[in-house]
Structure 1
Amino acid sequence: MSGEPLRLMAVHAHPDDESSKGAATTARYAAEGVEVLVVTCTGGERGDVLNPTFAVPEGHEFTTLEAKRAVRRLEMAAAAAALGVQHHWLGFVDSGLPEGDPLPPLPDGCFALLDLEEASAPLVELVRTFRPHVMTTYDPSGGYPHPDHIRCHEVAFEAYHAAGDAQRYVVEGGAEPWEPLKLYYNHGFSIDRLRAAHEAMLGAGLESPFGDWISSRDAREIPEREVTTRIEVADYFAQRDAALVAHASQIDPAGFFFAVPRDIEADVWSTEDFELAESRIDTSTPEDDLFAGVRKES
């Protein structure tokens, strides 16, 4: 591995997830010369418009799955450029988020209904081709119970373990097996982080949008997962924010993601946080680098 550039692969379910979960971290590593590849499992074509000011790009529409997919691809390209990262689509179809009681079935052919090996095969090949030293994805809960987020975890976990096994996912003419060294789970949501921002805003004489939510039963029942690794990223909030805004159909620039003034955010929570799920090399926690233990190997 001597002389090789470090490589990081971040695996996400939909376009925009990469901008709301670990985005400043990928921007930082890319700026520092790490090869960073963001992988998006689905086209996000079942996502609703969540930005009340969204205007469909000229020459496009937002009515069919194909049309929505095309718009989400434009947004994703702009977000990747803002972060300075490479990007790859796995090409699966968004499962949507059915709601109701009884819960309606997922749509035929969607990502979450595919056989695990079918869904994992293209990511296994991509791991063998890109050869990441570190992978990031969601914890087994998906971060929240969206079927695509849960399947994204399963697929990334499978690829982490299978890509180095020459007897599995055999493809004629495919890349040589490759074992990533570390697997991390994103901590995209943290009630402790929201509480810290809430208290800091009140302390600064500002109105906080988080009070009712923090005190709600739903918030109290969300478990905090272990944080093993904190990456200092305050210098990359601007790149993260530009990537968020690039997803114009999904992200309201006056909404939740921008509720905390950036100087307050930098003061009370300047890191993005991760959980070291597995490691094939020696490392000790807590860490301040996803490549802790990897750098001395390279």
Structure 2
Amino acid sequence: MAVHAHPDDESSKGAATTARYAAEGVEVLVVTCTGGERGDVLNPSFQPPEGHEFDSIEGRREVRRLEMAGAAEALGVRQAWLGFVDSGLPEGDPLPPLPDGCFALVPLEEAAAPLVELVRDFRPHVITTYDPSGGYPHPDHIKCHEVGVEAYHAAGDASRYVVEGGAEPWEPRKLYYNHGFSMERMRAVHEAMQGAGLESPFGDWIESRAAREIPEREVTTRIQSAEFFAARDAALVSHASQIDPQGFFFAVPRDVEVDVWPTEEYELADSRVPTALPEDDLFAGLREGGR
């Protein structure tokens, strides 16, 4: 189970991993916490699908649901919505208040309840989500971390989140944090691009992150996934309102990426089964006779 904040996050964070496991026969469920209703148009060539508008909360929600369906098909995964409303990314100094009723303002137990029920129904052995920073300080990403961790710890406890007629408690075995944009990866790709005489998309980003002295979190698990970069790219393109096919995510030639960084990275946050680090499989410790 991969828990994400908005539609498109599942395609930019761990998408090749989910595509790989789905192709291997693993049941994969992407959970999307919000409808992405307040996401800006980030693709200059985007046009709403015929019969749809993109100027209202409701219109954006419907379009982004269509995009998400295409991405899930490209990755070969199932997908479920938690049904919360995008909080938007506040900007300014001081920051403006978040919109009433948005995901980030929902009390934790209320926000986690539908995810706990999904965990009990789907019965995943492994859950992935974001680290405590959210990967970057979007309020929905931070909330996504909080509900993901809460569900991981609470779903197996029969005394918590009691729902009459609900699924039986289920205890996931491992919890991971995504590490899609580590400084180590960006530096390696940046140097490879420069070495090939190509313009790197990471120069300014590396400098800005370094200037803020953002600490690197530990990478414990590297998943070989280059064979599924094409599926990831197809999922990204499905999110036409958000992803510019001529933009950032496609600025590194795929042969360079495959040569320099053919893996996707994770941090093992918790494990209820013995496992040796580093790992090359999210199911390490589970495949040999584990339930």
TM-score w.r.t. structure 2 length? 0.98
Quote the offset at 1:217 in angstroms: 5.6
Out of 96, 121, 129, the position equivalent to 2:113 is 121
1:261 alignment counterpart = 253
In the alignment, the residues of structure 2 paired with residue 250 and residue 283 of structure 1 have an alpha-carbon distance, to the nearest angstrom, of: 38
User: Could you list the per-position Cα deviations for residues 190-220 of structure 1 after superposition, in whole angstroms to 9, with x for gaps in the alignment?
Assistant: 1211111111111112222322332336555
Matching of residues 44-59 of structure 1 within 5 Å? 44-59=36-51
CA contact (8 A) 1:214 1:220 kept: no
CA deviation map 1:144-191 (0-9, x unaligned): 000000000000100000000000000000000000000000002112
1:89 paired residue number: 81
Q: What is the letter of the counterpart of residue 162 of structure 1? A: A
Quote the residue 1:249 is aligned against.
Answer: 241
Aligned to 2:150: 158
**Counterpart contact for 1:213–1:219, Cα < 8 Å:** no
Q: Secondary structure at the match of 2:28?
A: strand
Aligned with 2:196 (options 204, 207, 212)? 204
Structure 1 residues not aligned, in runs of 5+: 1-8
Aligned to 2:273, which of 281, 286, 289? 281
1:191/1:219 contact within 8 Å kept? no
- Hey, what's the Cα distance between the residues in 1 that align with 2:268 and 2:204? 32
Matched to 1:215, the amino acid is E
Structure 2 Cα separation of the partners of residues 19 and 217 of structure 1: 23
Q: Distance in 2 between matches of 1:82 and 1:142?
A: 25
CA RMSD of the aligned region, Å?
1.0
Q: In the alignment, residue 44 of structure 1 is paired with which amino acid?
A: G
Q: Deviations over 1:31-50 (max 9, x none)?
A: 00000000000000000000
For residues 64-213 of structure 1, what are the structure 2 equivalents within 5 Å?
64-213=56-205
Identity rate of aligned residues, in percent? 82
**TM-score, length-normalised on structure 1?**
0.96
Aligned length: 290
Runs (5+) with no aligned partner, structure 2: none
